[in-house]
A = this chain, B = another copy of it.
């Protein structure tokens, strides 16, 4: 069989059964093989960043690697920002990249570039295939490497001639590596720290933020009086009714530092010490006081959940959040607060929320923790444009669960092409666009630079109301049914209906600040 078919058969045998593709000429042999090899679902995206972001969302929900299929260095380049987010999410992803045929690489053809250099920006697991005969072994290896631990973007660059040449049999099925469990001595040391005083905090990230980790950590916190924090930028957080009320550390250091002020010891579980998103003049990057001592119970890539469960052994159950959402608004202005209340009221059990709201997140997420249990997929790497693709991938991983993408109008513009694939695949994604027609977070940041009033040019870098982005026709033009809400009652009604119906839809929540001001 040719190299493309050998690759495909090896991926399928190693458990990869979804390929998010934006292929070009160099990948046609692989595309052709999709019809000869059963077991791989190809999903087309109209932009590479949608492929990489969707693979991230898929991995966060399934803990399994999907493949992406991209076209040489420049095609890969368009996927890099969401691969960066996936890297920070520790999502396992198999990135297949077509390359020029080997004899063509010596020429300066238009698409010639250092493809491996593009790939290495987001992962150190980069293989360049050196002969067609290596295909099977390399394909098996690229899957295993994706699982780390921790999970990572694992890349295989395939010169086109190795796809069209004879490549022999498929590669082996390799065992998926499992994260090591921290040794008993660390668990005992954590137990000692927790017993020693009440100024201890537990800080969870990565897969320790999923339901079992939260449950065990909640019992520990409840029994010892330790505070339980979760990484605001962790890939996935299990929250809502029935879960322990862990605390997300706020975005701005002015708000985060008071919460951590009393912290004498911090027990890190699959985490590094918490730092601010950006640095500011005369402020420390570390959010806990300088005097805080850190103890690593589980490193990133270790099984923090197993460590927490060992530590919680014998402890009684902890109190958990009740289902107690605020009343959905039936009147009044449409604001992030009223949007949060409506979503909290109607969010279905087991919903998956992809959150890229930027400035509005702080007003909305606190309402949702009183909703039915749900999964929060957060900003991990800060590369804008992850929200819609991550929602798309989450929906592909989890048929039967409702996915809600909470987006800002500014951030949604970076990867709006994702809407088309949601429509094409009839995915259950409700997209909410919080339209304030500004880069509002930059307004805040601008004032932090000391600028009291924005000049004309600065204002033009932050205002996106001219011309206004019209999200309802944009979504419809990409195949997604859409409606606009301008009052709290209207949003509430539209959201309630949207989560009850199958298939994709979009609600543009036009916030007061996004409306043209009266003259």
A278 to chain B, nearest CB (A): 5
Instruction: Kindly state the separation between the CA atoms of A469 and B419 in the bound complex, as whole angstroms.
Output: 11
Binary CB contact string for chain A from 1 to 41 against chain B (1 if under 8 A, 0 otherwise): 00000000000000000000101111011011011100000
Specify which of A25, A26, A72 lies most central, judged by the most chain B CB atoms within 10 Å of its CB.
A25
A389 to chain B, nearest CB (A): 13
B110 near A121 (CB under 8 angstroms)?
no
Contact of A383 among B49, B111, B382 (CB under 8 A): B111
Binary CB contact string for chain A from 89 to 130 against chain B (1 if under 8 A, 0 otherwise): 000000000001101100111110110011011100000000
Instruction: Kindly state the separation between the CA atoms of A81 and B278 in the bound complex, as whole angstroms.
Output: 27
A72 to chain B, nearest CB (A): 8
Contact of A31 among B21, B461, B464 (CB under 8 A): B461
B78 near A161 (CB under 8 angstroms)?
no
A103 near B26 (CB under 8 angstroms)?
no
Instruction: Kindly state the separation between the CA atoms of A390 and B146 in the bound complex, as whole angstroms.
Output: 37
A106 to chain B, nearest CB (A): 8
A399 to chain B, nearest CB (A): 18
Instruction: Kindly state the separation between the CA atoms of A461 and B43 in the bound complex, as whole angstroms.
Output: 8
Instruction: Kindly state the separation between the CA atoms of A383 and B118 in the bound complex, as whole angstroms.
Output: 14
A25 near B381 (CB under 8 angstroms)?
no
A470 near B461 (CB under 8 angstroms)?
no
CB-defined contacts of A121 to chain B, threshold 8 Å: 73, 77, 113-114, 117-118, 121
Of the stretches A206-214, A450-458, A486-494, A511-519, the one at the interface is A450-458
Q: How large is the interface on A (under 10, 10 to 19, 20 to 34, 35 or more residues)?
A: 35 or more
A446 near B103 (CB under 8 angstroms)?
no
Oligomer: number of copies: 2
A279 near B100 (CB under 8 angstroms)?
yes
CB-defined contacts of A85 to chain B, threshold 8 Å: 74
A314 contacts the other chain (Cβ, under 8 Å)?
A: no
Specify which of A78, A286, A468 lies most central, judged by the most chain B CB atoms within 10 Å of its CB.
A78
A42 near B457 (CB under 8 angstroms)?
yes
Specify which of A160, A380, A454, A467 lies most central, judged by the most chain B CB atoms within 10 Å of its CB.
A467
Q: Report A467-512 residues with CB < 8 Å from chain B CB.
A: 467-474, 476-479
CB-defined contacts of A286 to chain B, threshold 8 Å: 107
Q: Report A421-459 residues with CB < 8 Å from chain B CB.
A: 423-424, 441-442, 445-446, 448-449, 451, 454-458
Q: A47-B413, A73-B121, A111-B383 are in contact. Are A471 and B467 (CB under 8 A)?
A: no
Q: List 30 A-B contacts (CB under 8 A).
A: A23-B442, A25-B441, A25-B445, A28-B448, A28-B449, A34-B458, A34-B461, A42-B461, A44-B460, A46-B464, A74-B81, A74-B85, A74-B384, A75-B384, A77-B81, A78-B80, A88-B110, A103-B279, A104-B279, A107-B286, A110-B379, A110-B380, A111-B381, A161-B279, A470-B476, A470-B477, A470-B478, A471-B477, A473-B476, A474-B477
Given contacts A32-B458, A109-B276, 6 further A-B contacts (CB under 8 A): A107-B285, A107-B286, A111-B278, A161-B281, A164-B281, A424-B466
